[in-house]
Structure 1
Amino acid sequence: DGFAYDDGTPARLSETHFVMTTTTANAVTVFRNMEFARQCLWPDLDVHLISTTDGWAQFAVAGPNSRALLSKVVDDLDLSNDGFPFMACAECTVFGGTPARLFRISFSGELAYEIAVPARFGDAMIRALMQVGEEFDVVPYGTEALGVMRIEKGHAAGNELNGQTTGEMLGLGGMVSPKKDAFGTRLSQRDEMSREDGLRLVGFRPVERSVILTAGAHFLTPGDLADMAHDQGWMTSVAWSPELSHSVGLGFLKNGGKRMGETVRAYSPVRDQDVMVEVCSPHHIDPEGERQRG
């Protein structure tokens, strides 16, 4: 129907072989919807779907030294920027013959990869990665750290994908073709979905840098009453940015793409907070993507 509800990654391993990752929360929903499409929408297609979640152990390796670390792990694969560019994927081997899959994707905004091995090698793989990475001061990082980095980078995730989010709202309207039938085409042609003051994903930072932003706050034009008639949108995600040394946020704002630099109120009656925030790009750090593409 054109609504975004998950942020997984499809990868093409061969002419007729694809692998798709999903978030943990939506794995069942994604698989169910794909099965519905296969059985009911396109029953004539020769397609088979197999859940392989339990068959693979997959690890994200991120940071400026991730390429150097993986070069010591992956066998006979050119990991240079030209040989294995951003969004590349390949089947390969590690540590002298163990089968693996390598994906150059980043959910942190940094130079990053994901390496997958059969599940029975998972424990040995993570131990080997930590051992090989000692010279690069490698450390494990969890979902809290990843959550901060994805907000800094402007990656939409669960808080933004609430079942009512369209490609246009995420800044991806250009990927929905108006010339052919595609996911989201019919939806994007509805008047309410193409209005000039539609909600758009943008970034926010407090005018007073010491202020801690609050998720769930609603946006208002300065001077307007705090009621539904004047509601301009809401803050979806916030984090303290260690790199910028102040709070940053993501949210949906009416006509947000054309309001860069504008100051609006972020009002949260539940937490009794009323602060001024500046509208900015959702890409708080490395807006040109030089890190993840370098």
Structure 2
Amino acid sequence: MTINYDGRVAIVTGAGNGLGRSHALELAARGAKVVVNDLGGNRSGEGTSSAAADEVVALIKANGGDAFSHGANVADFDQVQDMVNQAMEKWGRVDILINNAGILRDKSFAKMELADFKLVMDVHLMGTVNCIKAVWQIMKDQDYGRIVNTTSSSGLYGNFGQSNYGAAKMAVVGLMNTLVHESAKNNIRINCLAPTAATRMTEDIMPEDFLKLLTPESVTAGALVLCDEHAAPNGNILCAGAGGYASATIFETDGIFLSEEEQSVDAVAAQWDAVTNTDDQVSPESGAFQTQKFLMKAMASLEANK
């Protein structure tokens, strides 16, 4: 099967460099019309420049594709709305959104200024929210959409010095989990991508030999599956890097049940091994699962004690 995006319109944020650049070029090579978004700042979010985004557009056009650049700051909804409006005026639809734009302000939590925490949250979380909000009704009206939120192992598992980044990256997973339920009837599929790649964001934290293996293109190979009309899953977290591809899932153990008379701090502590036993763990399909499970345990206990 050869995946293509003929007739599709894609918006890729942070597409001037690194992963976004790779995503945009490959989407265009496979037939998509692409909005190449990039504010043009450095990795800490300072400065602006259209040069990188314009270069990507030039490459796409040189290869026979169609694209335009837009310098919207994803943390500013009005700028994002202008970008989407221009895409609609030019091409009449938006089919694919890859939320890739991001910055770093790494420090241990004790040393981190709250302004740096908030800025990273604004770009990664609210930037993702703003972009989805701007295309949401369009995708609902056309009964089609593919959205990819960029999460991170730093959010899924934690990483020293990245409390702001990790919090924001886990938040976009929670956003996905709810939007999956709100968009299913409109053929909008939303997934998360947890990439590991050699980009400006990682260039000074890994040895050169490792960086050579962690190509952005290896991540794009997985990311674009999440954008496909037929192959795209829904509500998944795809981990990708250096040719490796895996799926991350949140599980809940079966746990225990304590009667009303037994419910105490001491009783829960005494059975902690049973609480955390993973033998019968499952991946819940929605937040209602947990309530239903506990109520079923309680009802079963009541029935047994009649």
State the TM-score, normalized to the length of structure 2: 0.24
Which structure's residues are more often strand, by fraction?
1
Q: Which has the higher contact order (CA 8 A, sep 6+)?
A: 1
TM-score for both structures, normalised by structure 1 = 0.24
Higher helix share: 2
